[in-house]
Amino acid sequence: MKKETKGLFIVMLCAFLWAFNGNIGGWLFKTKNFTPEDLVVVRLLGAGFSILLYNSWKKGSAALSILKVKANYLPLAFYAIGGILLMQFGYFVAILYSNAPTSTLLEYLGTFLLLFFLSIQYKKWPERKVFLALIVSIFGVVLLVTHGNFSVLSINEKALFWGLLSALGYATFNVAPLKLQARYTSMDIVGPAMILGGVTLFLLVRPHTLSTVTWDFYSILALLYCIFGGTFFPFVLFMEGQRLAGPSLSGIFSLSEPVFSTLIAVLLYGTIFSPIDLLGMVFILGSILLLTIQGTKKEKG
């Protein structure tokens, strides 16, 4: 198997694991009395400590080097709270009020915010194709939230609100650590950031409702999957896939996550989407794919 092909296979595997993670979260909310607060706190703390331990096993005390420089505290906190925590909490609250495929697509709208953030940073106005893609994606969102009846909002308002907040978190997640990434690896940054995000949410909401959760073999298995199968392993694997296939192709193929999420929701959970819903999803995914492919051409050029 060629190096690039192997890398793309790993990236698509990660996309599937992430897609399954969102659907598992929805299942925990509906059948095991979990709340988004419960899940996100446990997931961030569990995955954060796992990544930190794994990185320490590989690098020793150097894994904590980011915490030894006080100047890193503010950007790390911004990344942890405004990026990881906002993205994850917004995503799972949106799932609570809708479903995983819809929430995933709303989160991916953060791609446009990311482009505008970078345009401001580099003082360069986005190209016309960005605005064209934005118009297409907005049309897709309108179809998704109205089912084609433009006088009625068909999606839960809370799902739309938190889904768009997760999009803001997605953009921050990609922008906030840029300066830190010049000096530290992703593993150095993400582990402490996840722990900080988890601790922050715990202090804010104190999710003692874990006592109301239906604890059984399946809920524990699902929770462990969210920590390891849906977070720790995909994170580690994605970096390897990105190394083999390159960042551009990895970005394109990671967009298979909403597709996998929809298939899982339909095949395993019996979620029903109308033709208008699916058309809206196609418009949103197509617009983001257009931006990603355009970025790939620029890098090659």
Question: Averaged in consecutive runs of 10 residues, what is the pLDDT profile of the chain (301 residues)?
Answer: 82 93 96 94 96 95 94 96 96 95 90 80 75 81 75 81 95 88 92 96 78 89 97 90 74 80 89 86 82 55 48
C-alpha closest to that of 47 among 239, 235, 241? 235
Closest CA to 184 of 17, 90, 59, 16: 59
Query: From CA 28, how far away is CA 91, in angstroms rounded?
Result: 14
Chain segment 102-137, per-residue pLDDT in tens = 999 899 888 888 877 878 877 777 777 777 877 888
**How far, in Å, CA of 197 to CA of 212, rounded?**
23
Helices (H), the chain: 3-31, 36-59, 73-77, 86-97, 100-108, 110-122, 128-146, 157-175, 178-181, 186-205, 217-224, 233-245, 247-253, 256-269, 275-300
> 23, 76 in Cβ contact below 8 A?
no
pLDDT digits (tens, 9 = 90+) for 220-247: 999 999 999 999 999 989 888 888 877 6
User: What's this model's pTM, rounded to 2 decimal places?
Assistant: 0.89
